[in-house]
Chain A
Amino acid sequence: MLSAPLIVLLQPRGLAWAGATAAGLASFAIAIALAMAVLDGQTQVYAMGGWAAPYGIALEVDAFSALVLLLVTGAGAAALLAARVSVDRQIEPERQPLFYAAWLLGLAGLAGIVVSADAFNIFVFMEISSLASYILIAGGPDRRALPAVFKYLIMGTIGATFYLIGVGLIYMMTGTLNLADMQARIGDVVALNPILVAAGFITIGLALKAAVFPLHVWLPNAYTHAPHMVTVFLAACATKVALYVLIRFDSMVFQDRLSDHEFQFTLFALPLAVLGILVASSVAMFEGHLKRLLATSSVAQIGYILLGASFVSEAGITASAMHMFNHALAKGGLFLAVACLAFHFRDLRLSELGGAARRMPLTCAALVVCGLSLIGVPGTAGFISKWLLITAALESGLWGWSLVAVILVSSLMAVVYIWRIVEALYFQQASAEGDTSFAEAPLQLLLVTWAVALLNIFFGLFPHLPLALANGSAALLVGGAP
């Protein structure tokens, strides 16, 4: 069962799109099977090489990782399925096999992070996925991607190094790398200072990877200039995986064992989350380029996820996990629609997109649906997580109401920036020289886009599956025993 990452690991030389897609779909299917098993109450553990847990390298899937794994493989499979036509246009044929190989490596790395139960392995997988994503981002025809990717590389490496330093310190003090073991042993450590330093390093390092405000500067450029399909894939899951590790590390390893850690974590994460939400949303309101606008909004959405986690309550983690899932759906759908638009609009600045709705009505409709989900209009997936987030905020007491205000204000900002897109697509006059013929994106791409858009609505009305997993993960992370 646990071969999801293994298959992918064994496949990186699957040279063409078909092989990559098959691998992507297979891992997605396995992720679904795993999620179902987890819902039945089992935790899957696989000891690599047959060594028992504290010593060998273990892979483990519980509710939280099942949810994120579902997300990663789902996004990977959907993006791959849709990728062929878009990639054909952006990557020259002889480099395509390499491109897909890098993609699979990235997918394997991300999936590996999620299932790994071992702090050092997380680092290894993180490096794999990061290196792969540098290649992916730089792989497109856009030369501006190179400086963007360089920035990403520097910051990503700093983040990974910080993380490694933190893990090293903990290993020094506890003598273990296995997360569960670490949790058990960390209580016995007498000298707390190294652990505190380690916690700081790990948190900052992962926050860098996750593009938590104000460590987000690499993100907008990287997403904007990457090939469209890569943006879909990375926006849907890359930063969320880093957040996943952050939340898991903080709540599993440090939370119960370090006195005052809850307080410190809240003090660290809450202001950053609030600032990130407000600042990024207001920047997005005035952004003129479609992809950059959506990328900036991602920074705000990461703020939401962090906000949920910073409550350190069961409701908060549930909201956080749900928002990971729902935001991946919404943003993935949006970037898919952008990829469709890119077929006929070379320039993706909002001012150039006039008349798009007339030429590509289906694409634009899908974009609107996903946009509504991003805003959090009831009936879409986004509403569910906003509702959970607000409920969690109210539970957290005195601060709650002001946080509710923050969430609502930023929702209004989201209305503004999504509406600017809608106006550009639907109500703006087409530019003079552009032709106005009916020209939809290729069917393959369009179908995937619509499938994701419909999922946004489906999970808005029937959110039971992700909700069950999110509840499970919250109980796991906050409720105590792993």
Chain B
Amino acid sequence: MIPETAILTAICLPLAGALAIAVAGRISPNLREATTLLTAAALIWVVWGLLPTLMAGGRPAVEVSEVMPGLTIAFRVEPLGMLFAALASGLWLINSVYSIGYMRGNKEKNQTRFYVCFALALAATMGVAFAGNLFTLFLFYEVLTLSTYPLVSHKGDEATVRSARVYLGVLLCTSIGLFLPAIIWTYMAAGTGDFVHGGILAGKLEGPAIGLLLGLFVFGIGKAAVMPVHRWLPAAMVAPTPVSALLHAVAVVKAGVFAITKIIVYVFGIDFLFATPSSGWLLYMAAFTIITASLVALRQTNIKRLLAYSTIAQLSYVVMAAATLKPLAEVGAAIHMVAHAFGKITLFFAAGAIYVASKKTEIHQLRGIGRRMPWTMTAFTIGALSMIGVPPTAGFVSKWYILAGAFEAENLVAVFTIIASTVLNAAYFLPILYMAWFEREEAGAKAHGEAPFAAVLALCITALLTLAFFLFNGPVIELESQVVRALPL
């Protein structure tokens, strides 16, 4: 397929899929699920087909419409976006397999709406990944927020709707109240919003204004959950687990950190920001978020809430790495998106599988569960180790790069934060593992086995991916190195 067509297909395919799913849902659930899987597989084929072009240094671009002079809807594939799109599309397929097991195992209502919205969210994710300028990015960012609302409020009872309102409120308020003004300011200052290698703002702004603009961007992109705009993430945990897994470990939050990284690299330009003292606060803010979120995670008793706070901390790893403003750290930021995605989706899958099989949601209930659900808990262990950053898991690779970047920048705060949070991660994950494997189950507990096969299969695949990424990460690193090397964007 020609790369230009492939970009548009990648966005339209899930849209068409959503329609087909809606129609198929009226006929039979089996047909609906088959459509979902087929769409997901086709999307992988399309998106991954773009990889060779990117590796060869190509930057396919396509312009859809010029809304106003200077304001265009345009797409342009570059390594960061390519990685994000490849990741999201790949995990969508695995997640769909898992969803089928989870939704059927739980006998959830409104399953058609669930699959339709999921496909819509994926279309928006593709749009975010391939966006060629700030305006297009913003457009799909909002679509992503709106299309995930029905997913978060899926259960429909009062508590769920209240949490979903927090989710929507925080994300919309920050994006309209801060992100949009930042975009307008950028357009006014630079005359363009295109993502250009080396940035577009150099020489256009100076002094404290840069720090302020950066702040508008970082807090405006609420999806990145940098404190204090992180409240929506724990709130969104009321969603069904597949939603938490794909959206709150992969698509939505990653769209946030991806957007921040992209803006730092392609709008500000890392050299420009490094020379600007007023932008230094971002790194400290991210470091603060990492430590605080880890501390809060220590005190959680609900599995999904613990994972949510762990996600907040891990997202700020990416932001901190991006804010370190050194080539190695930027690569680390990109790799950490992948590593964290594999690890966290495994953890969420495992949490969901435990819920389906035993209806357990609290940590203290997990005593001895390793014997009842060996496959699930093995995968959980691998995911947890990856979060801590133990070799041979994916988390080690990215931490290595981020640390290297921190040393390169000679920033002791960053180095210290990484070490401290590793200790904290270990402190909240290891007790769970100990409980699950070595403690005895309470007497009189209900007997249960593994979750449905589809769910277990999915979480085993992602656990394997977490391990595999430790060994076979060469292509990814090579691709992402292009971001910082002086290649034409």
Contact = CB atoms under 8 A, between A and B. Distances in A.
Given A412-B172, A415-B172, A427-B153, A387 B143 contact: no
A467 interface: yes
DSSP class of B's interface residues: helix, strand, loop or mixed?
helix
B138 interface: yes
B73 A461 contact: yes
B60 to A, nearest CB: 21
A408 interface: yes
B142 A378 contact: yes
B15 to A, nearest CB: 13
B176 A394 contact: no
A196 interface: no
A377 B142 contact: yes
Contacts, number: 53
A412 B67 contact: no
A411 to B, nearest CB: 5
Interface string B379-423: 000000000000000000000000000000000000000000000
Contacts of A155: none
DSSP class of A's interface residues: helix, strand, loop or mixed?
helix
A423 B161 contact: yes
A384 interface: yes
B177 A412 contact: yes
B426 interface: no
Nearest to B156: A427
A36 B235 CA distance: 52
Contacts of A419: 165, 168
A426 B67 CA distance: 32
A393 B71 CA distance: 18
Max chain B CB contacts within 10 Å: which of A378, A387, A404, A460? A378
Given A379-B139, A391-B184, A427-B156, A463 B176 contact: no
A79 interface: no
Contacts of A411: 176
Nearest to B64: A461
A379 B136 CA distance: 9
Interface residues of A, number: 25
A390 interface: yes
A423 to B, nearest CB: 7
A427 B173 CA distance: 21
Interface in B149-164: 150, 153, 156, 161
Given A427-B161, A461-B67, A412 B184 contact: no
Nearest to B150: A426
A379 B123 CA distance: 14
Contacts of B71: 387
A410 to B, nearest CB: 10
A462 interface: yes
Contacts of B150: 426
A408 B138 contact: no
Contacts of B143: 379
Interface in A362-404: 372, 377-379, 384, 387-388, 390-391, 394, 404
A462 B65 contact: yes
A411 B176 CA distance: 8
Interface string A460-480: 111100010000000000000
A384 B68 contact: yes
A390 B183 CA distance: 12
B173 A412 contact: yes
11 contacts: A372-B146, A379-B139, A384-B67, A388-B68, A390-B184, A391-B184, A427-B153, A427-B161, A461-B67, A461-B73, A467-B68
Interface of A: 372, 377-379, 384, 387-388, 390-391, 394, 404, 408-409, 411-412, 415, 419, 423, 426-427, 460-463, 467
Given A387-B184, A415-B176, 8 more contacts: A372-B146, A378-B142, A390-B184, A391-B188, A404-B181, A415-B172, A419-B165, A427-B161
